[in-house]
Amino acid sequence: MAERIVVIGGDAGGMAAISQIRKRKSDAEIVVFEKGHWTSYSACGIPYVVAGQVAGIERLVARTPEQFRELGVDVRMRHEVTAIDLAGGHVEVRDTEGNTTLEMGFDQLLVATGGRPMRPPIPGIELGFVHGVQTLDDAADLLAHAEAGRCRRVVVVGGGYIGLEMAEAFVERGVATTLVDSNEQPMKTLDTDMGALIADALRHHGVELRLCTKVRGFSDGAVVTDAERLEADLVVLGIGVGPNSQLAREAGLRLGARDAIAVDRRQHTSAAGVWSAGDCAETFHLVTRQPTYVALGTVANKGGRVAGINIGGGDAVFPGVVGTAISKICATEVARTGLTEAEAREAGLAHVARTIESTTNAGYMPNAKPMSVKMVAERGSGRLLGAQIVGGSGAAKRIDTVAVALHAGLDVQQVVDLDLAYAPPFSGVWDPVLIAARELVKLI
């Protein structure tokens, strides 16, 4: 009898594993249960659909259920796994369209249930005009609401990546947009001084900001804060994402960082024959050397690939991440990697930091844009800990240089010595990353 491999979840973490499994086990029975309407899609592209820059949700789909079925994969859409029986080796599944239930055994199981938007217990948060944005189903509901209701006023709650990108998207649609955040500055994954640059960019683009402001509740047509009542036709939750790990918890799988499913470097969980990858699973931080939780498509795809190789009988390891992320907020690019000052402090690392101002290319070039680079290093040893970049077009991808340096374990002086390319259309003779490192050496 053929081995049966069950995958819970049809997006990045789960579907990245499929081709790897099939390459190694051509005769295995692979069954995927997905509770939504789409498989293998880019949720990161949702704000650009909302803004009208991408022509429709379907453009975000990398591979359809039919394409997976052509590989001999039994993909069952609108099927929600409601329980995992580890001892019995089976899952319980509800067909949400047929309103029936079934039980299916497995030899190996991949839990790829993804993440879920944080929905704090605020009165009225379940009202129909309040939307999370995590899946394409969420995006479809949000767009339907925006278009059917002739949306004129939007309030975005939360200043993380998705919140800021959604605020920009609605401004691009010509909608009056207000962003509410309880923090001093938006984007708390940056240090406060760098977040202030993002706040300036949002204001310049026409987004109204309400910082250091808490949401107390939602009522029909309004968001009630501790300072005022904001009228709204639609509310977008950009508070953040947490692991969708409740199913794993109830099954008895061990949870780790931020209650994500605990996995080893091979994506194996605490139970034999059970694996996990994607936004529901933890990963390993190469700078702190501790388990961490990072909800990014890059991490989900890499973790899924490693899980698939191992489920298929291979031997692969996911070494970990350094927390690299990038975005564009209006005309301003923003990126980070490694640790911020605040994160270094939280990790108990003695550190120094320096921020420099430079330009995206040689200052005398007509298209030179301002950019700020903040770099953090360990005091004494000079070990590079991280960097943040905010600036004009061409600024943010420089973060990849720092990410590579972190993976290689370079110290700041070694970063100064890197032989980076130079030509006036791309940078000054000293790239801004090198300038930041050079200035930081002086403090160590």
Residues recognised as catalytic: 44
Q: Is 348 helix (H, G, I), strand (E, B) or coil?
A: coil
Amino acid identity of residue 95, one-letter, is D
Interatomic CA distance for residues 18 and 69, integer angstroms: 11
Q: Which residues of 149-166 are buried (b: 16+ CB within 10 A; e: fewer)?
A: eebebbbbbbbbbbbbbb
The closest alpha carbon to 389, from 379, 378, 400, 405, belongs to 400
Q: Which value, in Å, is the radius of gyration of the alpha carbons in the chain?
A: 23
Burial class of residue 318 in the structure, from the number of CB atoms within 10 Å of its CB (0-12 exposed, 13-18 middle, 19+ buried): buried
Q: Is 437 helix (H, G, I), strand (E, B) or coil?
A: helix
Cβ–Cβ under 8 Å, residues 371 and 360: yes
Q: What tokens were used for 57?
A: 């949700």
Cβ atoms < 10 Å from Cβ of 25 = 18
The owner of tokens 């905010």 is: 390
The closest alpha carbon to 107, from 25, 4, 251, belongs to 4
Cβ–Cβ under 8 Å, residues 141 and 181: no
Give strand pairing partners of 292.
283
Cβ–Cβ under 8 Å, residues 368 and 395: no
Q: Measuring CA to CA, how many Å separate 228 from each of 88, 329, 347, 353?
A: 54, 26, 37, 38
Q: What tokens were used for 424?
A: 């006036």
The closest alpha carbon to 266, from 313, 199, 205, 225, belongs to 313
Interatomic CA distance for residues 251 and 204, integer angstroms: 49
Cβ–Cβ under 8 Å, residues 253 and 172: no
Amino acid identity of residue 89, one-letter, is G
Interatomic CA distance for residues 375 and 383, integer angstroms: 11
Interatomic CA distance for residues 67 and 140, integer angstroms: 22
Q: What tokens were used for 121?
A: 């217990």
Interatomic CA distance for residues 355 and 376, integer angstroms: 9
